[in-house]
């Protein structure tokens, strides 16, 4: 691993924030130690996760993503929009239609560009999976867990389990703002039913749209979650509560989600916050050099 000073970029998508690294030549592998150091909100930069941008097969890119605790994640809907904005605005590509590799497979990005600035990104998130074996969730592999009672913290919710390339449990609540998300989210994330942990969405339907709060596996409560928005729409659509195209409102902003021919499209903004260079002394002090 190189010990040269490290240039980073801070981005966010509807308040879900990331430290971004360019490593096109795959010279600086992303470790759990470096990730945790960068995401530390007191002693580091502060973020929900870290994205390392590397070359994919051919001329494309691959998103190497880790949660803030250093654990590896399969996919991040808000993060991949930030990646699209970074690679276009930094001149790494001139394409407004591009494929990006992830641990959940390749995802197609469509960039909405005005005067050289990426204003929004639409991501083809793929098809949802409902079978327990594909989530993964304990129980018969082909069985689905949709609209079932789920108890946590002495409360019982109607719940649906969905994979959007990563595991989600969507819990329907009267008012997500009144739910103790940190307490219940942490408990559900580690529930033995989910051998690899799970993301948790607390959602309600209001006036044909959805409102949600989210607990992300490996990161805690975040301002928004792209894959969580998709899981929430799919679960509510399966239950007949919403049409196939809705806005999902998070504390950090609004995401547009559409289920089309069993594929899910996610549209939302991505924002660049700042660029910084971290010197070797800081990296060594955090065991990250």
Task: Give 79's pLDDT tier (boundaries 50, 70, 90).
Answer: very high
Percent of the chain residues topping a pLDDT of 90 = 89
Q: Which residues are CB-neighbours of 82 under 8 A, at least 6 positions away? A: 11, 12, 13, 18, 20, 51, 270
Whether the per-residue pLDDT at 142 is higher than 70: the answer is yes
pLDDT score for 67: 96
Which member of 39, 82, 225, 230 is catalytic? Answer: 225
Judged by DSSP in three states, 23 sits in: coil
Task: Give the global pTM.
Answer: 0.93
109 pairs with which residues across the strands?
98, 123
Q: Which domains does the chain have, with CATH numbers?
A: 6-126+270-285 (3.10.310.10), 132-261 (3.10.310.10)
Segments of the chain assigned E as strands: 6-13, 16-22, 49-55, 61-67, 97-101, 107-114, 117-124, 148-152, 155-163, 167-172, 199-206, 209-216, 220-222, 245-250, 253-260, 263-268, 271-278
Annotated active-site residue 76? The verdict is yes
The pairing of strands 245-250 and 49-55 is unpaired
pLDDT score for 284: 81
Q: pLDDT tens digits for 152-205?
A: 999 999 999 999 999 999 999 999 999 999 999 999 999 999 999 999 999 999
Whether the per-residue pLDDT at 279 is higher than 90: the answer is no
Whether the per-residue pLDDT at 233 is higher than 80: the answer is yes
pLDDT score for 98: 95
Which member of 39, 76, 82, 230 is catalytic? Answer: 76
Annotated active-site residue 225? The verdict is yes
Phi and psi dihedrals of 132, rounded to 5? -55, -40
CA angle 37–164–261, rounded 5-degree value: 145
- Do residues 242 and 205 touch, judged by C-beta distance below 8 A? yes
């Amino acid at each position: 691993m190189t010990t040269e000073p490290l240039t980073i970029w801070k981005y966010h998508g509807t308040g879900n924030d990331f430290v971004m690294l360019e490593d096109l030549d795959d010279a600086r592998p992303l470790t759990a130690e470096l990730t945790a150091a960068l995401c530390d909100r007191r002693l580091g930069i502060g973020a929900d996760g870290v994205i390392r941008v590397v070359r994919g097969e051919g001329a494309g890119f691959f998103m190497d993503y880790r949660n803030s605790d250093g654990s590896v994640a399969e996919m991040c809907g808000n993060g991949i929009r930030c990646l699209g904005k970074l690679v276009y605005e930094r001149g790494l590509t001139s394409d407004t239609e591009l494929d990006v590799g992830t641990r959940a497979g390749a995802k197609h990005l469509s960039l909405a560009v005005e005067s050289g600035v990426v204003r929004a990104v639409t991501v083809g998130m793929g098809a949802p999976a409902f079978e327990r074996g594909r989530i993964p969730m304990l129980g018969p592999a082909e069985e689905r867990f949709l609209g079932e009672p789920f108890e946590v913290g002495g409360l019982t919710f109607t719940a649906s389990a969905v994979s959007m390339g990563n595991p989600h449990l969507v819990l329907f609540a009267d008012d997500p703002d009144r739910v103790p998300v940190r307490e219940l989210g942490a408990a559900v994330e580690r529930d033995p039913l989910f051998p690899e942990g799970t993301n948790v969405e607390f959602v309600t339907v209001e006036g044909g749209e959805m409102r949600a709060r989210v607990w992300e596996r490996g990161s805690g409560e975040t301002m928004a979650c792209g894959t969580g928005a998709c899981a929430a729409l799919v679960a509510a659509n399966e239950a007949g509560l919403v049409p196939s195209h809705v806005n999902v409102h998070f504390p950090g902003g609004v995401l547009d989600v559409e289920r089309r021919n069993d594929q899910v499209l996610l549209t939302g903004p991505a924002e660049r916050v700042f660029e910084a260079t971290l010197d070797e002394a800081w990296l060594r002090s955090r065991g990250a050099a």
